[in-house]
Structure 1
Amino acid sequence: MSLADTIRNTMVPVHREGWPFVAAFAAGAILLGWLWDPLFYVGVALTAWCAYFFRDPPRVTPLDDDLVISPADGKVSAVGPAAPPQELGLGDEPRTRISIFMDVFSVHINRAPVRGEVTEIAYRPGKFLNADLDKASTENERNGLVIDSPHGPVGVVQVAGLVARRILCWSKTGDELTAGERFGLIRFGSRVDLYLPEGAVPRVALGQTAVAGETVIADYRADAATAPSRTS
């Protein structure tokens, strides 16, 4: 493999939402270096971390309507019944909830867990508690989507974290999403909660690491076969 191929395979694209932050960190590095030379290298390290935080690697997503794909990179922090947020209009009955916690080193691009039409988007202001806490689902700032999937409505909730101060959602009501398609981003630590229809069987365990757009986190079939996939 050539040096050019090695660099191309090692470098991960930075999402466009991250470039203003990378530029700001780089400017800060120059300013720090002007004040004191050793601080320049600290600034360079922080700039590199900022670019790393906003990375947007391609993912290979299984194409099967019976599968639910992880919407986020990170650790599975909750698996079990919970009532969805009222603003989603999914009723008061508990649904299977699967939560993915993203720390500051995770990829923070969020991807659609299922194929379907976005029928509801609801934002709610709130606190900025540690997103790894269970009560963050009800008390933190959040943005929720309802995707009308082939198996029924799926609630997808972006939850702000302790240092997260901006939830971005690029999808709009009426959009048709494919599984694995990018729909949003949360800056600097957060979580995503999924509220699944009846019949979805979790395929992940607490503490497991999930990869957005690739990891199967739930299945509607008792015996899953290998599904085709696409890269995005």
Structure 2
Amino acid sequence: MYLHREGNVILTVWFLFLAALGTVLYFFTPSWLFYVSLPILFGGFLLFAQFFRIPKREVNVGEDHVISPSDGKVVVIEETEEGEYFKDKRIQVSVFMSPLNVHAQWTPIEGEVSYTKYHPGLFLVAWDPKSSTDNERTTLVIKGKKHEILFRQIAGAVARRIKYYIKEGDKVAQGDECGFIKFGSRIDIFLPLDADVQVKIGDKVQGKRTVIAKVK
């Protein structure tokens, strides 16, 4: 396990703030208060640090597999109209990330990045159905040998910093790191109608590991 580079600045600032607060407590308060505060200060740093943890995982590779691009819980499985890129009906699978989940994203299939677009927007809570179309989000599409998969990073009420590291024309392997959303949010995956969905609502999934669907 290691800490993601997106946390470098915020963790440094947070550490310096907690160190300064500890120094004030040490010199200007009773000693008992300082020692009582130490585990709280340490716990506060660990709380922020866990937002940026990245576990070491093996990729669940499969040419017919669409693996989860993110950790979280499956909250939506439904047929819907995808109006931005495919402009047809697709199966939408949505994964909600809580603040306790790993916040990195990985490519669900191998192929070439055929489309990327950032959309400014609102910051509705991530479980609101309108968040898929109204919130700040990034749309990413990868074209594989047999199918094309679209997935979206969606900001929420707390998560307001979306990062993505791939661009159109890039060649990606299945499970390559492709983005990060600070402090949790939501991922929508759009599958062909004949996809064999392997998860159900309420399932907890892991990025790079869990097979979301098998595509013919």
Q: TM-score, normalized by length of structure 1?
A: 0.85
CA distance in 2, matches of 1:160, 1:23: 24
What whole-Å deviation, never above 9, does each CA across 1:96-137 have from its counterpart, x for those lacking one?
011110010000010011111001101101111111222211
Identity of aligned residues (%): 36
> Among residues 11, 17, 38, which one is paired with 1:28 in the alignment?
17
Which residue identity is paired with 2:121?
A: G
CA distance in 2, matches of 1:119, 1:33: 50
Conservation of the 8 A alpha-carbon contact between 1:146 and 1:156: yes
1:43 Cα offset (Å): 3.0
1:61 is aligned to 2:50: no
> Among residues 82, 85, 94, which one is paired with 1:84 in the alignment?
82
Conservation of the 8 A alpha-carbon contact between 1:73 and 1:107: yes
1:117 is aligned to 2:112: yes
Please give the residue correspondences for 1:1-232 in structure 2 after superposition, counting only pairs within 5 Å. Answer: 12-36=1-25, 37=34, 38-86=36-84, 89-91=85-87, 93-220=88-215
CA distance in 2, matches of 1:103, 1:84: 25
How big is the alpha-carbon RMSD for the aligned residues of Structure 1 and Structure 2?
1.4
Unaligned runs of 5+ in 2: 26-33
Unaligned runs of 5+ in 1: 1-11, 222-232
1:85 Cα offset (Å): 4.7
SS at match of 1:83: strand
CA distance in 1, matches of 2:180, 2:68: 14
1:194 Cα offset (Å): 0.5
Q: TM-score, normalized by length of structure 2?
A: 0.91
Which residue identity is paired with 2:207?
A: A
CA distance in 1, matches of 2:157, 2:40: 24
Conservation of the 8 A alpha-carbon contact between 2:89 and 2:193: no
Residue 4 of structure 1 corresponds to: none
Aligned residues: 207
SS at match of 2:123: coil
Conservation of the 8 A alpha-carbon contact between 1:112 and 1:178: yes
SS at match of 1:154: strand
What whole-Å deviation, never above 9, does each CA across 1:29-71 have from its counterpart, x for those lacking one?
1122233335554332121112111011122122211011000
SS at match of 2:70: coil
Which residue identity is paired with 1:61?
A: V
Residue 228 of structure 1 corresponds to: none
CA distance in 2, matches of 1:177, 1:198: 24
Which residue identity is paired with 2:8?
A: W
CA distance in 2, matches of 1:205, 1:20: 37
CA distance in 2, matches of 1:75, 1:134: 15
Conservation of the 8 A alpha-carbon contact between 2:192 and 2:215: no
SS at match of 2:150: strand
SS at match of 2:59: strand
What whole-Å deviation, never above 9, does each CA across 1:72-101 have from its counterpart, x for those lacking one?
000001111122252xx211x220011110
